[in-house]
Amino acid sequence: MNLYAQQASNIRRTWALVFGFLVVVIAVGYAISWYYGDPMILIIAVIIAVGTNFYAYWSSDKLVLSLNHARPASREEFFDFYTVTENLAITAGLPKPKLYVIDDLAPNAFATGRDESHAVVCATTGLLQMMSRVELEGVIGHELSHIKNRDILLMTVAVVLAGFVAIVANIFLRMSFFGGGRSNDRGNDNAIFMILAIVGIILAPIAAKLIELAVSRRREFLADASGALLTRYPEGLASALGKLGSYTAPMKSANLATAHLFINDPFGEKSSSPSSRGSSGFSSWIERLFSTHPPIQDRIKALLASQA
């Protein structure tokens, strides 16, 4: 798939995610309004769903930066960060994104924003201290590829929408536990509908999270390959990934809602741990299913194989 086809695919996926979110929230709102016999709840759910989608498009990047305690990076303090990003942005034909840093020893980075003109690249101070300039070019090339491929809107919007579905589901479950629903004048019909509603609301945030994770894992491989093409030096990113994988401590501000945005799992690399190596096939499959990132070693192999 070429770059333009990939960009178009990401736009379609974003619209599908937004539409799916609207359907889920309206369905949840209908279930709640039916249970409490109050149609106003459904109207409120529709208003909230539409408002959340607007917020996800215009301001989700600000939410992501706030959740990770990021601050603007000055050229004077982070000269290499600035110059590497400027040079690679010119090479990629992109406007220079805004630069932010997170004061954290754990090396990591991510890109966010709604489009090329409103993009942000954020790195931890640990990454900027650990990487050589060639390795930093590999990391920045990876993040600029997320911007060029239009991954950032899809992955950033997923933060808000998946999180909101989980919040709505939690609220409804708490309300149902405390009771207060319509009288059980329809006997088993009410009970069956209530069970189906609760099951659906439990599964909705899980499904949203799995979609978010699957999108992230697939995009990481593509951004690795695109970043290697941008820098013309896959070994730089491969070496950077090796350093990222060797640092197993989690970030101080690690957050489940934004973990899929980072170049590496902010909760620490687990693929090389003894427990992971000795796990059964089924447990390994489960671990990969709920992992925000593909294993570092798989990514390094893919990069080096492109040079063979």
Segments making up each domain of the chain, as ranges: 3-305
- Let me know if 31 is exposed, middle or buried by CB neighbors in 10 A (0-12, 13-18, 19+): buried
pLDDT at site 52: 79
- Contact in structure between 33 and 45 (CB atoms under 8 Å): yes
pLDDT at site 149: 84
Using alpha carbons, select from 61, 130, 59, 136 the residue that is nearest to residue 97.
61
- Is residue 76 annotated as a catalytic residue, yes or no? no
pLDDT digits 0-9 by tens, 219-271? 788 889 899 999 999 999 999 999 999 998 999 988 877 888 899 989 876 54
- Contact in structure between 241 and 295 (CB atoms under 8 Å): no
3-state secondary structure (DSSP) of residue 258: coil
Segment 115-141 shows an average pLDDT of 97
Cite the DSSP H helix spans in 37-113.
40-67, 79-92
% the chain with pLDDT above 70: 69
Phi, psi (degrees; rounded to nearest 5) at 149: -80, 0
Q: What is the DSSP string of 200-249?
A: HHHHHHHHHHHHHHHHHHHHHHHHHHHHHHHHT-HHHHHHHHHHHHH--S
Q: Out of 135, 143, 220, 269, which one is annotated catalytic? A: 143
List the structure tokens of 217: 């894992």
How far is 236 from 217, CA to CA, in rounded Å? 21
pLDDT digits 0-9 by tens, 5-45? 655 666 676 677 677 777 777 777 777 777 777 888 788 87
pLDDT at site 237: 96
- Contact in structure between 24 and 208 (CB atoms under 8 Å): yes
* pLDDT, the chain, mean: 80
pLDDT at site 278: 47
pLDDT at site 53: 75
pLDDT digits 0-9 by tens, 47-85? 877 887 788 788 889 989 999 999 999 999 999 999 999
Residues for the chain: how many in total? 308
3-state helix, strand, coil split of the chain in percent (to 5) is 70, 5, 25
How far is 202 from 195, CA to CA, in rounded Å? 11
Q: Which one has a higher pLDDT value, 105 or 2?
A: 105
- Contact in structure between 261 and 156 (CB atoms under 8 Å): yes
Q: Which one has a higher pLDDT value, 214 or 173?
A: 173
Beta carbons within 8 Å of 82's beta carbon, 6+ residues apart: 73, 75, 99
pLDDT above 70 for 290: no
pLDDT digits 0-9 by tens, 139-197? 999 999 999 988 888 777 777 776 776 666 666 666 665 555 555 555 555 666 667 66
